[in-house]
A = this chain, B = another copy of it.
């Protein structure tokens, strides 16, 4: 058996999210359909670094599978891409040791959230950014970002519906905000993310940018451990799973 890990990009617009579901078009469903075709109909499970919601995009999702076939990574990439629909693409395939797991071995994930800070609508951006028409104080947002970095209990910044057992403490290595013309991007890197965490943090940062929340108030929001204290959950189309990182040792035999 060989184990292959794929770096995958997808435009989330026309998917009901990553995870396979009956009767819905999902990224996992399309990947497993392609792998089954390569394996003459035999079902091949694919294991991703995590799910993404309906409408959320990926620049670099990671997912592994096992096969009895002995193809080179370049052959796997070509074979799978030839069977995928036009909104999913395998950027790269690599051989990994049998011990590798695309989800359990993750040490860091990076998400980016893109805001189009403009009053006039741009029809070409509607599925790829979140349009926000009001003026934003980027300095205030950057101050709030500093309070979000580090290890915290992110209960207030995760969906109250989430059924996570155990700790809601996560460590964010980077929370930053950059403006480039009318485009604003939030970059979040961390050891793990709770359900809706990036979209709620992004919504809270917009409240800071509009002057509705003080940058210092992030501390109070953490302390209250109450979803009601943070800002809105922003819509999915601005969100991108940007990168997934592993220890080099995860790739060693």
| Chain A contacts to B: CB under 8 angstroms | 9-11, 57, 81, 86-89, 91, 120-124, 126, 128
A-B pairs with beta carbons under 8 Å apart, 10 shown: A9-B122, A9-B124, A11-B123, A57-B124, A81-B121, A87-B126, A88-B123, A89-B120, A91-B120, A124-B128
Distance (Å) between the CB of A43 and the closest chain B CB? 25
Cβ contact within 8 Å between B123 and A9: yes
Stoichiometry (number of copies):
2
Cβ contact within 8 Å between B11 and A124: yes
Contacts of A89 in B (CB 8 A): 120-123
Contacts of A126 in B (CB 8 A): 11, 86-87
Which 5 A-B residue pairs are closest in the complex by CB-CB distance? A11-B123, A89-B121, A89-B123, A9-B123, A86-B126
Distance (Å) between the CB of A79 and the closest chain B CB? 15
The answer for the CA separation of A170 and B57 in the assembled complex, in Å, is 44
The answer for the CA separation of A124 and B60 in the assembled complex, in Å, is 13
Distance (Å) between the CB of A134 and the closest chain B CB? 18
The answer for the CA separation of A10 and B124 in the assembled complex, in Å, is 8
